[in-house]
Amino acid sequence: MYKDDFNLSSGCYLLNHSVGRALKSSQSDFNEHFFSPWQATNKEPWQQWLSAIDRFTQALSDLFNSKKELFCPQVNLSSGLTKLLMSHPRLTKSGCRVLMSQNDFPSMGFAMQRALPSNAQIEYIPSEFDLTDIEVWQQYIKPEIDLVFISHAYSNTGQQAPVAEIAQLCKRNNCLSLVDVAQSAGVLPLDLTTVGVDFMIGSSVKWLCSGPGAAYLWVSESQLSLCEPTDVGWFSHQSPFEFDINHFAYHTSALRFWGGTPSIAPFVIAGHSITYFADLGVAKVREHNLKLLAQLTAALGSYLVSPSGAEKCSGTAIFDFSQRQPQVMDALAAANISVDERAYGIRVSPHIYNDETEVAQFIKVVKAVL
């Protein structure tokens, strides 16, 4: 029944780890909240546009169960991460140390390498290590580390990190912790009030079906006042309309990370779509996703190279068909089934708008090749 809510063309779309499909209602909602205020009267539209930003942060607040004031809109994760790294006394100090993994999204490593002080040390957990296993993290998390970077879900391996346990370890070792939810937001539930991380960066383009450009940075209450971003503008000011070039005061909320005149359009789409998922409940999306992943695994389990089980797998199953992989990809394309291929295999990501019939069709096409 959720199928009817989304813009789906013919065929089967299983690329939700890449770009989620838009809601059918997004276009009319966009006209109402973006174009109408701009076109329908001769007043300037900022008040309504800023209300749309408010709807976006409120939707995030509902989705992740944390105060709306702790979220700040960002263009993408890389930019949000850069701003954060350059704002915190522990991360701007000479020789600071960061732990991340070779399996994190490369852009996150690039931002780290450029935004941290030049003598910072970045240690990477090797790619062959099992990032779903807390004992692996235990070997690396030490009091000398300033920041631990965690991807909630790893895009190329389909692994899920045990975020709450890692955050606890970080607390015990007095390290800061940051979780990247680009690949998990909307499919893996995350409760910011209980999980215990210090920072979160995310976007809305994948399971949240909101398109690119609507990313966000969340800062815990305990860290917020310590953060003094360098990349600022009048929307980072406590009183944006003070207009005194000689006086800058940080916004008391996470909006201190906002910057100059904000973009609006991507956040209108995302505010609408994230509200849909917050109302539906991520637990429901995950339950459906797990059911379809189980169907895939039951039929093709011997080719599965990503973890199985609700605690360890992301929303994506990855299959390695070795030398038959090119034929499998061709057969899937001919059957109009959309998946993609990365270093470890074919990625398959069933969302709330996919169903058992589609998964059965995927299995049938693959088995015909094998």
Ligand X SMILES: Cc1ncc(COP(=O)(O)O)c(C=O)c1O
Residue 132 binds ligand X, judged by CB under 6 A? no
Q: Does 210 bind ligand X (CB under 6 A)?
A: no
* Closest CA relative to residue 46, chosen from 29, 33, 60, 59: 33
Interatomic CA distance for residues 145 and 158, integer angstroms = 26
The closest alpha carbon to 27, from 3, 48, 7, 54, belongs to: 7
- Residue whose CB is less far from ligand X, 25 or 107: 107
Shortest approach of ligand X to residue 182 CB, angstroms?
4
Pair 287, 72: CB distance under 8 Å: no
**Identity of the residue, 250 or 267, whose beta carbon is nearer to ligand X in the bound complex:** 267
Which residue lies nearer to ligand X by CB, 183 or 273?
A: 183
Nearer of residues 157 and 223 to ligand X, judged by Cβ: 157
- What is the dihedral sign for C-alpha 15, 19, 22, 27? negative
CA 32 from chain centre, in angstroms, equals 27
Q: Which of 74, 43, 77, 76 is nearest to 56 (CA)?
A: 74
Residues 6+ apart with CB under 8 A from 220: 70, 192, 197, 198, 199
For position 203 contacting ligand X by CB under 6 A, the verdict is yes
Least distance (Å) between residue 200 CB and ligand X: 12
Q: Binding of ligand X at residue 215 (CB under 6 A)?
A: yes
Is 16 among the residues that bind ligand X (CB under 6 A)?
A: no
| Residue 320 beta carbon to ligand X: minimum distance, rounded to whole angstroms | 20
Could you tell me the smallest distance in angstroms from the CB atom of residue 350 to ligand X? Answer: 17
Least separation in angstroms between residue 16's CB and ligand X is 12
Alpha carbons 248 and 235: distance in angstroms, whole number:
11
The footprint of ligand X on this chain (CB under 6 A) covers a number of residues equal to: 13
Q: Per CB under 6 A, does 105 bind ligand X? A: yes
Give the interface segment with ligand X, choosing from 56-64, 104-112, 263-271, 299-307 (CB under 6 A). Answer: 104-112
Is there binding between residue 358 and ligand X (CB under 6 A)?
A: no
- Answer yes or no whether residue 157 interacts with ligand X by CB under 6 A: no
b/e code 334-365 from CB counts within 10 Å (16+ = b): eeebebebeebbbbbbbbbbbbeebbebbeeb
Q: How far is CA 192 from CA 3, 66, 186, in A?
A: 29, 6, 14
The DSSP code for 274 is H
Task: Dig out the tokens for 299 from the structure.
Answer: 């039929």
- Cβ at position 347, least distance to ligand X in Å: 11
Tokens of residue 54, six digits: 């408010």
- Cα–Cα distance measured from residue 319 to residue 326, given in angstroms and rounded to the nearest whole number: 12
Q: Which is nearer to ligand X, 151 or 223 (CB)?
A: 151
- Per CB under 6 A, contacts with ligand X among 62-81 are 76-78
CB of 180 to ligand X, least distance (A): 5
109 binds ligand X (CB under 6 A): no
Q: Provide the binding-site residues for ligand X, judged by CB under 6 A.
A: 76-78, 105, 107-108, 151, 155, 180, 182-183, 203, 215
